[in-house]
């Protein structure tokens, strides 16, 4: 019995079907709880005022936007090396979610930036790399949709994902060279003195957990859809033949 | 009930609103697609079952 | 390999497509910018590096979708794959031919167009250097995009969406180098970064493109 057992679509469907209801409940609890306490129950920051509340959506969304791509990177590698279909489909399922998170991070960042920096958009390294990340997501999704043969599509998008990872990182450092940053550093760190105060910290952790769980739930859910779509395709081919 | 957001009320509400809309959107799309696929799959499976019977 | 290079070059020149069209496109883009921005010399001089580089980037994109597609359709690619030459070498040769027919003319034409944009005199060496170092990377990256989009209907648009984000590091370093030189500062650091990026791409792209081609050939 190993983890690879779940690479079998039937086993995956069984297990994911069993844990999804539970997972959905926990996700809803963390996400709504985190955002609600963030929105209703946190004090204003002395410098940022009530806009500090935006961070409870901005920070988790931004984190997950990057982690979603990282997950797609790992899933693509697994597909290329071990040829597990579930892995390829999970990467496909994750891309629109990652793109949505990126968009949320960009939009909430713009709304936060308008009163704080005095403009909706600054060509700051972090903002710019997020915009580039968004483009990578779009390209990845578009390539999946453009190719009919599912295995070929999985291969080609996996390669694109690997190349995209390398160049997203490269761009990240290239934009540092290109402009000075306005964006503050990380708000979270293991070093206690570094990160934000506790009143802000706990709701933030809860909403980060909410976003992580939301991502996991949605990926499982959408992977199930992809497996069904694949099954429909093979059934249709069988009946037409 | 409603916290006092001071001068930034529109900004905070807009940020939360945009997030809610986008998250609801991706969830709705996923559920809708899953529902459609489930329906199609059921129909196809039935079709196949009836064929193998006959 | 040399025979293949010769074949690619004659094909590109005979079609009249590659070289001429890319160059004309480059010309049009750099003429349109002053028309859009206005004839203010100071502004034009300031945006000249970026304009020239974006023009070069777009001109490079133009002929990419014909890089593998015709050979894939008429079976030449299958024959090439059977030849003793590894696919990596074939991809590299294709990229080289693409650069010779589109990149190199751009390098030669850029200084002339830079004159019309009033690029400061001290920036010309850096402009030519940056184009010489940077444009091969554009062609090599292009082979990845071209290989990924083989067989897709209207793949040209998708190709731009896939390839343009990959051009970001090259664009940043090279345009920065020229801007620095135009401002009279040292562009060495930017040029070194650009060279590193280009070398990395030149080393990586043939393998990726070949791996992609293998998926199509199976």
Choose among B9, B15, B45: nearest Cβ to A57: B15
Choose among B12, B30, B45: nearest Cβ to A222: B30
Contact with chain B for residue A214, Cβ under 8 A: yes
Q: Which pLDDT score is estimated for A194? A: 46
User: Taking residues C116-133, what's their average pLDDT?
Assistant: 90
User: Taking residues C1-11, what's their average pLDDT?
Assistant: 74
Judge whether A140 and C145 are in contact, CB under 8 Å. no
CB-CB neighbors (< 8 A) of A40 in chain B: 1, 3
Q: Which pLDDT score is estimated for A68? A: 94
Give CA–CA dist A19/A9, Å, rounded. 15
Verify whether the Cβ–Cβ distance B48 to A235 is below 8 Å.
yes
Judge whether C69 and C36 are in contact, CB under 8 Å. no
Judge whether A135 and A160 are in contact, CB under 8 Å. no
Per-residue pLDDT tens for A88-122? 999 999 999 999 999 999 999 888 888 877 777 87
- Which pair of tokens denotes residue C141? 């990256």
Contact with chain B for residue A40, Cβ under 8 A: yes
CB-CB neighbors (< 8 A) of B48 in chain A: 235, 238-239
Q: Which pLDDT score is estimated for A120? A: 78
pTM over 0.80: yes
Q: Which pLDDT score is estimated for A191? A: 45
Q: Which pLDDT score is estimated for A102? A: 95
What number of residues does chain C have?
218
User: Taking residues A32-58, what's their average pLDDT?
Assistant: 78
Q: What is the ipTM of this complex?
A: 0.86
Helix (H, G, I), strand (E, B) or coil at C161: helix
**Rounded mean pLDDT of chain B?**
83
Judge whether C209 and C150 are in contact, CB under 8 Å. no
User: Taking residues C123-148, what's their average pLDDT?
Assistant: 92
Verify whether the Cβ–Cβ distance C148 to A167 is below 8 Å.
no
Q: Which of A126, A138, A141, A140 is nearest to A62 (CA)?
A: A126
Give CA–CA dist A110/A131, Å, rounded. 12
Q: Which of A100, A78, A103 is nearest to A90 (CA)?
A: A78
Work out the end-to-end distance of chain C between its first and last CA atoms, rounded to an integer number of angstroms: 23
Q: Which pLDDT score is estimated for A98? A: 95
Please tell me what DSSP assigns to residue A49: B
The pLDDT of residue C19 is above 90: no
SS (H, E, C) B1-54: CCCCCHHHHHHHHHHHHHHHHHHHHHHHHHHHHHHHHHHHHHHHHHHHHHHHHC
The pLDDT of residue C21 is above 70: yes
Verify whether the Cβ–Cβ distance C169 to A178 is below 8 Å.
no
Provide the pLDDT confidence category of residue A182 given band limits of 50, 70 and 90. Answer: low
Q: Please name the chains neighbouring B, where neighbouring means 3+ C-beta pairs under 8 angstroms.
A: A
Q: Give the best residue of A123, A125, A128, A139 to mutate against chain C (max C CB count within 10 A).
A: A139
Per-residue pLDDT tens for A215-233? 999 999 999 999 989 888 8
Per-residue pLDDT tens for A13-42? 888 888 999 999 999 988 888 888 888 777
Task: Report yes or no on chains B and C touching (3+ CB pairs under 8 A).
Answer: no
Helix (H, G, I), strand (E, B) or coil at C29: helix
């Amino acid at each position: 019995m190993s983890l690879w057992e779940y690479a079998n679509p039937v086993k995956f469907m069984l297990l994911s079907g069993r844990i999804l209801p539970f997972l959905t409940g926990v996700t809803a609890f963390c996400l709504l709880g985190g955002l609600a306490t963030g929105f209703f129950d946190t004090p204003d920051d002395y410098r940022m005022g009530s806009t500090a509340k935006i961070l409870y959506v901005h920070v988790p969304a931004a984190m997950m936007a990057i982690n979603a791509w990282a997950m797609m990177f790992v899933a693509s590698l697994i597909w290329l090396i071990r040829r597990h279909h579930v892995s390829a489909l999970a990467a496909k399922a994750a891309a629109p979610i990652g793109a949505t998170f990126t968009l949320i991070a960009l939009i909430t960042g713009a709304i936060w930036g308008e009163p704080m920096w005095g403009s909706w958009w600054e060509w700051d390294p972090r903002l710019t790399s997020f915009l580039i990340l968004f483009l990578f997501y779009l390209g990845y999704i578009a390539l999946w949709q453009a190719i009919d043969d599912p295995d070929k599509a999985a291969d080609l998008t996996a390669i694109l994902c690997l190349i995209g990872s390398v160049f997203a990182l490269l761009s990240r450092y290239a934009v540092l060279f290109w402009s000075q940053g306005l964006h503050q550093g990380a708000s979270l760190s293991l070093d206690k003195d570094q990160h934000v105060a506790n009143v802000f910290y706990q709701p933030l952790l809860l909403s980060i957990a909410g976003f992580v769980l939301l991502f996991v739930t949605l990926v499982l859910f959408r992977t199930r859809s992809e497996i069904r779509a694949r099954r429909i395709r093979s059934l249709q081919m069988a009946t037409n033949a | 009930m409603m916290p006092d957001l001071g001068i930034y009320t529109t900004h905070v509400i807009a940020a939360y609103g945009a997030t809610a809309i986008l998250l609801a959107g991706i969830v709705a799309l996923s559920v809708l697609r899953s529902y459609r696929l489930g329906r199609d799959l059921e129909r196809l499976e039935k079709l196949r079952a009836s064929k193998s019977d006959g | 390999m040399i025979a293949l290079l010769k074949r690619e070059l004659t094909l590109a020149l005979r079609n009249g497509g590659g070289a001429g069209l890319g160059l004309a496109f480059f010309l049009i883009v750099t003429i349109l910018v002053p028309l859009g921005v206005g004839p203010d010399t100071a502004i034009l001089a300031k945006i000249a590096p970026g304009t020239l580089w974006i023009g070069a980037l777009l001109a490079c994109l133009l002929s990419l979708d014909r890089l593998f597609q015709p050979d894939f359709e008429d079976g030449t690619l299958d024959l090439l794959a059977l030849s003793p030459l590894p696919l990596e070498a074939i991809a590299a040769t294709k990229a080289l031919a693409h650069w010779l027919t589109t990149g190199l003319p751009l390098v030669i034409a850029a200084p002339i167009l830079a004159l019309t944009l009033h690029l400061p005199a001290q920036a010309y060496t850096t402009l030519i250097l940056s184009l010489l170092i940077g444009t091969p990377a554009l062609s090599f990256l292009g082979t990845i995009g071209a290989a990924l989009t083989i067989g897709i209907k209207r793949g040209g648009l998708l190709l731009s969406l896939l390839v343009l984000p990959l051009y970001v590091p090259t664009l940043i370093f090279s345009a920065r180098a020229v801007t620095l030189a135009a401002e009279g500062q040292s562009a060495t650091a930017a040029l070194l970064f650009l060279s590193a990026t280009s070398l990395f791409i030149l080393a990586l792209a043939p393998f990726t493109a070949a791996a992609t081609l293998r998926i199509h050939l199976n």
